[in-house]
Amino acid sequence: MDKPSSISDADWRARLSPEQYRVARQGGTERPFSGEHYLRTERGDYHCICCGSLLFHSDTKFDAGCGWPSFWAEAAGERIKRLRDTSHGMIRVEVRCASCDAHLGHVFPDGPEPTGERYCINSVCLSFKPAD
């Protein structure tokens, strides 16, 4: 894959579905309870739809009942960056792929132990690779 920072907007549009582009590259949100990974229970890894970077492992996924895939921890390493989000009249923490800057979703401080965090992630921003 090309270095993500060298990929043009037109190339992102060509590589991604319209919904993937809207959410991952434009910071949108998919409808709750609509994503393919929301109810997924298989063992495996979740990768960025844009650049393929490993983001989450299935053993940190849990059902938060919020309508989006939820994880209590990211994969080891600095794979996700956090940004202050003041849109929609509230203060939240947006999460983006550290490799390609794709919008993934948000992280909230109401998750289970051991982290107490809930990464609320748009399914369209993820690809799933089953465990061997």
Q: Mind giving me the DSSP string for the chain?
A: ---GGG--HHHHHHHS-HHHIIIIIT---PPTT-STTTT---SEEEEETTT--EEEEGGGEE--SSSS-EESSPPSSS-EEEEEE-GGGS-EEEEEETTT--EEEEEES---TTTT-EEEE-GGGEEEEE--
Beta carbons within 10 angstroms of residue 64's beta carbon: 18
54-80 pLDDT, tens per residue?
Answer: 999 999 999 999 999 999 999 998 999
pTM for this entry = 0.93
pLDDT tens per residue across span 36-60 = 999 999 999 999 999 999 999 999 9
Residues with a known catalytic role: 120
